[in-house]
Structure 1
Amino acid sequence: MLVAVLSVLSELTQPSMDALEVLRDASQFQWFTVTLLVLVIYVYAVEVERRNWDAVLAGLALWLMDWINEILNSAILHATDRSALWTVTGHTSYLILVGLTIEISMMFLIMGIVFVKMLPGDRELRLAGIPNRWIFVLLFSCLAVFIEELLVHTGWFHWEYWFWNKWNPLLIVIFGYATFFAVAAWVYDMQSRARQLRVVGSLAAVVVVLLATFGLAGWL
């Protein structure tokens, strides 16, 4: 139903055209990307050295959740022939998808580890009677949406639809970020390493299937 409603608007927006113009254009590459990659590797290397597999797997889980969102976001652009829910324009070393730059992807790789390191050690602790995990999920999600709002004002990040903008932030908080942080916390708190690996592996499989499906359809 959502696609049917959005399809009424059939003209590509200017941000959509700008993003498609540089989509996966290797000539945009900048050397700072290599430095960012090394920093991401360092963050994970530190956790691996400490055998902090809970944080490593939680970080990967959040990153994979973002990939699922980004793939579906790209599919919305092609389904509506107008715009994705969010679009990225401006300078980037590599635009992977219309809403995902290489820099953003690396940021999400680190974000999950940052998030779980902020969680209280006692998963049962309640703050004002509320489970601490839910409070931190909400806080981080609201902070992320606030940062997105700042990015919108730069003119490099774009929201197109009335139900997904600063006047209606609830869906962005819930589906844009809360699901990411909730899954990261869930994986982090699991008592079974095998279960953690199954969840992360399942998320990776979903990403691969979505990439193959929409990629072959030309919707990415």
Structure 2
Amino acid sequence: MTPATQQALEGLRDLSTLKWYVIPLLAYTFYIYTLEMKKARTTGNWNAVFAGLTVFGMDFINETWNGWVLVFTQRSAFWTAPGETALRTMVGWNIEIMFMFAISGIIYANTVSEDRDEKILGIPNWWFWAIGYSVFCVFVEVLLNMGGHLIWEYPFWHRSFKGVWLIFFFGYFHFYVAALLVMGLRSIRAKAVTVASLYGIAIVANIFGLGIMGWTY
């Protein structure tokens, strides 16, 4: 295994590493969601809540298959986050990243126009902002990689032209595409079932890996 992988495995899911700043982050996240739920009960529009849950669910799936890459290669996941954290939940996931993705879908939902046909630079605004936020996320990830906080092992997932495009499409863009598709569903029931399915996929995959196969990554 690579040095970054070995470091990422140290203290994995070790609750003794928790820091007190996690508590206000949790409170801020709860506040954001409860505020959106209060608005939704008045307006009947639950898109922000579902968008938030969708993006987090997609990231949960992403981090799950990334861990499986490590299991199968016994070398490295596509990305690892070996640096200091209040809690490392998977080799490429930590509590700080989780809080960020928990609200990024809400940010997206509050950015787009209620009129899906409205365009920005000739692009439907829902798709424009999906592209825009994905580009921004890739930019931040590149900075984290340059700072040694997020490690990429494989040449096809790196700071090259082809690598950046892979990170764009399979690291972020599909998160926001999923959010806009869920937001576009007609009924709350359909949205709830779709979002629940995302978490179901990730949970089953982790139960299989952790509970049945005994994988610890």
Bigger shift: residues 164-173 or 50-59: 50-59
- Which of 201, 204, 207 is the matching residue for 2:199? 204
The superposition leaves residues 76-121 of structure 1 with CA deviations (integer Å, 9 ceiling, x where unpaired) of 0111011100100121111000000011111100100001111122
- Which of 86, 94, 102 is the matching residue for 2:87? 94
SS in 1 for 2:10: helix
CA contact 2:60–2:199 (8 Å) conserved in 1:
no
Aligned runs of 1:1-220 on 2, under 5 Å?
Answer: 12-51=1-40, 52-167=45-160, 168-216=163-211, 217-219=213-215, 220=217
AA aligned opposite 1:186: L
CA distance in 1, matches of 2:14, 2:189: 39
AA aligned opposite 2:12: L
CA contact 2:18–2:86 (8 Å) conserved in 1:
yes
SS in 2 for 1:166: coil
Deviation at 1:26, TM superposition (A): 1.5
Deviation at 1:211, TM superposition (A): 1.2
CA contact 1:126–1:132 (8 Å) conserved in 2:
yes
Deviation at 1:128, TM superposition (A): 3.5
CA distance in 1, matches of 2:201, 2:48: 21
AA aligned opposite 2:5: S
CA distance in 2, matches of 1:109, 1:18: 25
Deviation at 1:207, TM superposition (A): 1.5
Cα RMSD of the aligned pairs, angstroms, is 1.1
**Unpaired stretches in structure 2, ≥5 consecutive residues:** none
Deviation at 1:191, TM superposition (A): 2.1
Bigger shift: residues 65-74 or 186-195: 186-195
Count of residues in Structure 1 that have an aligned counterpart in Structure 2: 209
AA aligned opposite 1:46: L
- The percentage of counterpart residues that share the same residue type is 38
Bigger shift: residues 130-139 or 143-152: 130-139
CA contact 1:120–1:132 (8 Å) conserved in 2:
yes
Deviation at 1:22, TM superposition (A): 1.7
